[in-house]
Each structure stands twice: as structure tokens, then as C-alpha cells.
Structure 1
């Protein structure tokens, strides 16, 4: 199934991971209690987890409820395509113009760059657009892949029922794979476990919104990404509690913060190690006041309907993942834009950087609506298109520097 990856790609892959982590470690806002998260990333991308007793289930993307996997005593292995080198490793499998996330995802799976993926008993693959459909078809030729179609119109009962039906089918398949039956007690324990972890993510986001100088956006995004690298969620939650306590007790003030333009980064997802855009913006002196987080609404409310039956509780979890996903794959997406405008008002945003990965047409289609809605708030929107390659970094630098200077001048002259 997996071919040995070219040594040049492998060396470049390792160097990219190491260099990106080095840049983040050197960040002046790096908390003292953060080494755990760096080690977690190193182990996930560069080493193999030797614990083979726990069955592993691969998850492409973030919309499948991990609670049901934990409830079956299994470990979710998230496959988030954020590596340029993994995309290179996919060259023989996908067309050149395939979007970077799908290319990288295919490369990670087919090349064995991430060792834990090789141990997965099956991979669950949500399908929202054409590239994902083709990816699932290709991967299914030599491994067990369970496709889950994401209904694009969320408000209809038919869409909700279709989603719940698919999640129920996945549950049955996973029970066969893990040789365990999901019961109410284990599902409640899994829900509480995930709740506690995601409440820590919510707290980190709130701490930074209160005072962006405490921790850079690049570091915040990286630490949040490590949720998807962990193989012990209780340990990860404990370390997050320590980190958040440190940040709450930290006092930092940037004397230049009043003249720094507060920028809101929205658009295509930013997955480690592709931290190119946030690192560049902060290097150029911009203040990233906020970043659009996929399914950010998921971090707002706890799942507390424990009294329901196991079936009803799983349905509730499934709908929460589905209905609170505000990515632009849905028709229409007023909820997403309304949520973004609310954050912009609360955070006193001066400019929006609309980040589009090449091939993410759904984000490009929404640009006009985003520009129109933010124009109502007096906030300019700047489109920036890129991929995972660093060859365009100087062009990006010139473009973003001009945007920052323009926004800074506007603040000074106001």
C-alpha cells in the first residue's frame, strides 16, 4: 500500500517540522509551560507511537465526532493535510492542481510520513467537495475507508437524518473493528473527556482575545493544533490547564499595540506545519487579533444531555458537530459571515486578511459576500492566495507589508 518516500522529500519534511517548531519556540511570547506541546508535535510527525494495544481509527478532517471513538476504547488519529512535503509525496497519485490540503492528506496516508497512520484499522473520510470524493475513491482501492457525505443544506430534516444515519452506520462499523459495543456509560465518559479538553481550547481563545500580547496567534494556533496530535487526552487537558493558568497570571503590554492594525485572518484552514501566513504577519509587525477557527462554535457550549439514551446522546453529538460547522461548504453560509462580523466588532478589527489556498474554490466564491458584509462595518478585506510552497514568500511579504502599512497609516491619521 505504502511506497517508500523519496529521501529528499523525507529530509525536507523533517527539516520543515524542526524549523517551524524552532521559530515557534523562539517566539518572545512563548509560555514557560509549553514544551509538552512541542514534544507532542515532534513525536507525532517524526516518531512512531509504540503503544499498539489501543486500536487506532483515522479521521480525515475535523467533523466526525471523536467521542464515539473514545467511547469504544479506541484512539482517533487525525489526518490534517498541512505539509508541503506530504503534498510532494502525493504527486504520483493526484493531479498537480489538487488543493494543498487534499494533496497533503493523500501524501501523509500513502507515503507513511506520519507513522501512526499506518496502524489505523480504518479511516473515516468526510466528503464535501469533488477533490475529497476522488481522494476517497483512490484510497479505497487498497485500504478500508468509510466515506461520510456531508449534506450541504443543514436546515432540512432530511439532511439531519442523513447525517445521523451515516454516523450510526460508522458506529456499527467501528464496533466491528474494535470488537467492542458502545454503551451509555462509556459514551458519557467520552463526552466528558472531550468536553473538558475543548473547554481548555475555549479558555485559551478567550484569554488571547482579552489580551493578544500575552501569546502570539501563531503559538495559539499551534497549541490548538496539538489537540489533534495527542494520544492521551487526559494528559493533554492537564497540560492545557497548566498553560492557561500561566497565561492568566501573565501581564504583558506592547507599547506599540495602539498603532498596530488589528487584523482578522479568515478563510482556508491553517494546519501545522503550514504556519506561513500567521508567522509572516507577526514578523511584519501586524497584530492578529483573531483567526477563524473551523467549527469554532463547537467550543461555546458543553454537551450536557447525559440523561438521554445512548442512541439519543450520540445523535445529539453528531448534530452538534454537523450544525456547528460553519465552513463554506454549506448552502447558504449566513451563519458563518454573521459569526465573523460579530467577532470583528468585538475585537475592534481594522482589516480582514482573506486567506485562500489554491484550489479552495468554495472560499473564493464567498469572497464577494464577505467583502460586502465587512464593507457595512467599514472594514476592508484583502484577498491573499497561496499554497504550501515557500517560493512565493517574498511576494507575500511585499503584499502583506503594503496592507499593514496602509492600515497603520489609517490608524495614525484617524
Structure 2
């Protein structure tokens, strides 16, 4: 096999993964017209021809940076979240085999023979673990323009706020130097309103999905929320999400009792990013419903709710303090915000089980598992730890284990119903 033939095969696998995922999502509910916009947004993001043409001004790795600062300096954030098995293969020569799939996928997007996204970009790398530090080094070594953001790992540290502010001020300076536009109060306020508007619509969307339980799957709901990170026009994206919310509310599509009465689970732990949706698809295939997802990107949807109450604080301080307070990424030695968010979901009374997703190599999530087992154990809610990577070979093995978990939930539900009688 020639080197070119092997490269073409790797490129084909990248294309087939996102196309297969989009087809599956579309086929789940093709009757809702407005869904097409969000699936097209995802398609345009991953499409190779578009990748080759793109020259983003600012690239952000992961979701642990307040994007308001980027908008306020006149740029549009181009997020690279990982999630692609195809780009994992492109990084084989860059990192050890045991490196977590998110880091490998991110590097594959940025250092490959197919397109050069980072040619003219300032690449922002939040330091959430050792792998992100290594990524920043490899990107700098490859000649990319990189700025790192060290996230103080202990929010209870009296100096944490000062350290975070220093990091954000440095980032703001780097952004301004790169874009040629300085931060002003007016620009920060406008950026805050833009992002807040998007998050408000996402919160509305989650509420509508709960009211119309069974109308769309958990995987499709996750994809629509994920599409926020793949949009090139946030105002247009907001307009279409507003239309989708109205369409769902007005929908007269029949929701069969079987679709509404599936056991509700909370999917949490390592974030699940497009196009690798094997876990959400598997959960749906065996008859479970993702009632809610909890990770660093979904938690950001709620992070803006206190910004309008900032009072006399300047908008820069309001943005960075709100982000740090709500952030539940893997950066923290003790992830109290993740715990508080899980506790909130528990109190809502809709969750019957928890799938705690751990990507191989992301051991920082495993450190948190015992606390969540104890938390949900107080309400007799089972927690299923699911360890995997982006490969698809383990799907049937995972299916067997998850079906056993579903049987446990069904037995638990029957026992509770009998007790209520």
C-alpha cells in the first residue's frame, strides 16, 4: 500500500464518520423542517473543501474560554473540540498511542497534510490537564502562534481569582494585538448580549424538549446544542434556534407512549462531541433516553444568567468571574461546580440512572467518580461507568453491558411503582 493510498483511506474515514452521524440524526426526525439548518451547520463545519478554504483568525481548543472576549476584539472564535476518529489517525506520528482521543483528534485537525487551519490564527489553549500542556508545546514547535491560559485548579484558593484575572488580562492583550482591536466597554457589553442571547435560547430549547418529551432524541438534542460551536454566524444561528423552539412547541406530531416512557438517564463525565456519537446512539438504540447531559460545554449554557446582575462591575470583570465560577471542566482538583450541577439534576426528580462516560486517558474524570456514586446512591439511582475511546470495535461489548444496566433500571422502576401502589 502506497503512502498516498493510505492517506486517502484515512481522509475517507474522516468524511464517512461525520456523514454517517448526520444521516442517522436526520433520519431520527426528518419531519421537523428547522432541524435541517443545524445539521447543515455541522456538515459545513466538517466538510473538507470548507476546511481547506478556512483561515480562522482565532482558534479555541475546547470550551473552557469565555468567548465574549474574542467577539469583543472583532474576531469569531473557531472551536476545535476533538470528537473525530478520522483526525485521531492523522496524529499517530505526533503523540504516544495512549494519549486521550480528544487531544489526538485536536492535534489531527491542526497538524495534518490535508488543510492548515492554524496558518494565520492565534490558537488559544486552556491548560486543563497535562495533555493540553503537551499540545501547546507541539503546536508552538510546529510554528503556530499559541497562547496558553492556565486555569487555577482550586477555586477555594484566596489567590485563585487574582490568578484567573491575570490570565484573562494576558489573553485580552494577546487577542487585541492579534486582531488590532482593543477591548472597550461597549464592545464587551455587545459581546455579552450576543452570547447571552444564544444561551438563553439554548436554555429555552432544553425546556421545550422536556415539555415535548419523546419528540426528538437525546442525541439529536445534544447535536443541536453542539452546533453552537460549529456556526460561523451566531446571529443567524440564534434566529434559527428561535424558529426551532416555536416549531417544536407548535408540533402536532404524535408522540407515542413508548417514546415518552423510556428510562431517563443523565450522561456526564468526558464530553461527547460530534461527529463521534457512538455513545448517544447506543444509549438510544437500547431504549434509554438521555434526559440531560452534563459536561463543561453544556454547563456553559447556564453560565451567563448572572451577568445582567453585574451592577456597577465592569463587563470584563463580570464575564471572567461568571465564567470561572460556572466552569466545570477537568481543570479543577475538586470539581465542585460539576457536583453542584449533578445535585441540581438529582433534585429535579427526572433522572433514573447515570451513565458516567470516561474516555481512555482522561483519568481526571475517574477521580470524581466516587463522589457521584455516593451522591446518586443517596437516592438509589444507579451509576454506570462506561470507559471507551473513539474506536467503534467495542460497540457490541458496550451494548451488552448497557443492556444489563437498562434491565437494572427497569427492575428499579417496577419496584418503585409497586411500592407506590
TM-score of the superposition, structure 1-length normalised? 0.92
1:319 to 305, 318, 321: 321
* Cα drift, residue 120 of structure 1: 4.4
Greater CA deviation, 142-151 or 291-300?
Answer: 291-300
Which runs of 5 or more residues in structure 1 are unaligned? none
> SS at 1:304's partner residue?
helix
TM-score of the superposition, structure 2-length normalised? 0.91
Distance change (3 Å), C-alpha of 1:256 and 1:200:
same
The aligned counterpart of 1:134 is 134
The aligned counterpart of 1:202 is 203
On the 8 A contact 2:266/2:353 being kept in 1, the answer is yes
On the 8 A contact 1:81/1:104 being kept in 2, the answer is yes
Aligned length: 408
Greater CA deviation, 248-257 or 201-210?
Answer: 248-257
Structural mapping, 1:307-386, within 5 Å: 308=312, 312-386=314-388
On the 8 A contact 1:77/1:117 being kept in 2, the answer is no
The aligned counterpart of 1:393 is 395
The aligned counterpart of 2:146 is 145
* Cα drift, residue 347 of structure 1: 3.9
Which runs of 5 or more residues in structure 2 are unaligned? 417-421
Distance 1:29 1:42 in 2: 16
Is the counterpart of residue 121 in structure 1 residue 125 in structure 2? no
Distance change (3 Å), C-alpha of 1:406 and 1:29:
farther
On the 8 A contact 2:310/2:318 being kept in 1, the answer is no
CA RMSD between the two structures: 2.3
Distance change (3 Å), C-alpha of 1:127 and 1:328:
closer
Distance change (3 Å), C-alpha of 1:269 and 1:255:
same
Distance 1:409 1:379 in 2: 12
Distance 1:337 1:29 in 2: 36
Is the counterpart of residue 28 in structure 1 residue 8 in structure 2? no
Is the counterpart of residue 271 in structure 1 residue 256 in structure 2? no
* Cα drift, residue 169 of structure 1: 1.0
> SS at 2:274's partner residue?
coil
The aligned counterpart of 1:105 is 106
On the 8 A contact 2:151/2:164 being kept in 1, the answer is yes
> SS at 1:166's partner residue?
helix
Structural mapping, 1:180-195, within 5 Å: 180-195=181-196
Distance change (3 Å), C-alpha of 1:205 and 1:116:
farther
Give a deviation string over 1:255-306, Cα, whole Å, max 9, x none.
1257532211111100000111111111111122111132544433052267
Distance 2:374 2:73 in 1: 46
2:284 to 282, 285, 305: 282
Give a deviation string over 1:340-392, Cα, whole Å, max 9, x none.
12212314322111111101101111111111111111111111110000010
The aligned counterpart of 1:226 is 227
Distance change (3 Å), C-alpha of 1:259 and 1:42:
closer
The aligned counterpart of 2:307 is 303
Distance change (3 Å), C-alpha of 1:304 and 1:413:
closer
> SS at 2:384's partner residue?
strand
Distance change (3 Å), C-alpha of 1:29 and 1:308:
farther
* Cα drift, residue 29 of structure 1: 7.2
* Cα drift, residue 337 of structure 1: 1.9
Distance change (3 Å), C-alpha of 1:92 and 1:297:
closer
The aligned counterpart of 2:236 is 235
